Structure 1
């Protein structure tokens, strides 16, 4: 569809938005792939439930299982404008951009070698993911990575189990945390 000719008012509105601009509106529909938002200042979308759209990763810094963990239909939201999606003629938005990143706070107050307690979230063949608090999740690898010691085999861990871990490394830009089991 040629949105520019079919809906010039919508196209003109989206063209005025600037990256980083704060927009407000109401959640109009929740889908498994994201959330539609009717923007206060924007026109209605001719086909979609709202001219704003928030993808799942942009809803929260924390891992969520469903969009309804964060928002509900009718809820008022303030979001940061990310980009103009010209294919769908919608404003791509971020809810999490207006919230502090718990990983950066964790990195500010944590040092390599620090012992922590955490809860096993997921056990995979390559390692176990452990939530160390505030939604910050780190990996305890089952194989040695860059000289870091390996953990026990996967059968030793159960989701929901509380375990002791040691911080071996973290990468701020990629928001990655590496952990190991304490050495006896």
Structure 2
């Protein structure tokens, strides 16, 4: 009697359970793929066929031209599970995540909600690197902590340098651990008061505040500590307005879910 074919979904569930994301596994380098991937014979897995692979961008923090410069066939390797292919059950691994033991251990010692402190190491147009207190030297970046632009402040900004500068001491809350980049993702604004919690003005109120930004379709006006509302250009009737100018406006609508305030000139 012929045995029924294995259920592919059940096989996938078994693979996902056996190789959860973030788990560290060991194996032996079995060869190299056509695209520069490193093929891995995972311990405890199919002894006949390599069922793990390390994409070249997840192999090492060091620069290299050929993966053979970093590893060789038969070499033992430790890597983090980065995912399981839903069709083949093949396991994608990151050796880079585990390459620097001190960095990996430091990342794993942090949890969401932890409060960390450090010194701003670099201010770039896409975010801020922070050298966290007690961190090991990062193999590629000026600091292990990273603050994305939306997590710097509740206020509207054009560039991170409006908020922080190199050498400045900062504190923030850990909102993620990114072993892919080797970073502790930090939010500075998580420790700041949300201006929307302090917003007491309501629909119909008339307030006066500075123009914080002039854009093609209107102007933003601060109506609270850091909350801002938009006056659409169609409501300005061609009136010239510049940043920093005090403008008296009426609150037309407040959407606390989307954090939007619609304004109109008061007179």
TM-score in terms of structure 2 length: 0.59
Kindly provide the CA deviation profile for residues 113-162 of structure 1, in whole angstroms up to 9, marking residues without a partner as x.
1001123333444333222342321012346xxxxxxx133x31311333
CA contact (8 A) 1:140 1:178 kept: yes
What is the correspondence of 1:18-97 to structure 2 with a 5 Å cutoff?
Answer: 18-97=111-190
Distance 1:115 1:126 in 2: 22
State the match for 1:122 in structure 2. 213
1:111 shift after superposition: 1.5
State the match for 2:4 in structure 1. none
The residue matched to 2:190 in structure 1 has which SS?
helix
Q: 1:16 aligns with which of 109, 113, 131?
A: 109
1:80 shift after superposition: 0.4
CA contact (8 A) 1:34 1:53 kept: yes
1:181 correspondence with 2:181: no
Higher mean alpha-carbon deviation, 40-49 vs 126-135, is at 126-135
1:4 correspondence with 2:97: yes
CA contact (8 A) 1:3 1:11 kept: no
Distance 1:50 1:123 in 2: 35
1:163 correspondence with 2:254: no
Distance 1:123 1:36 in 2: 29
Higher mean alpha-carbon deviation, 91-100 vs 170-179, is at 170-179
1:110 correspondence with 2:193: no
TM-score in terms of structure 1 length: 0.82
Query: What value does the CA root-mean-square deviation take over the aligned residues?
Result: 2.0
Q: Which one has a bigger Cα radius of gyration? A: 2
Higher mean alpha-carbon deviation, 119-128 vs 8-17, is at 119-128
State the match for 1:172 in structure 2. 256
Distance 1:76 1:165 in 2: 37
1:69 shift after superposition: 2.5
State the match for 1:138 in structure 2. 229
1:66 shift after superposition: 3.0
Alignment size in residue pairs: 173
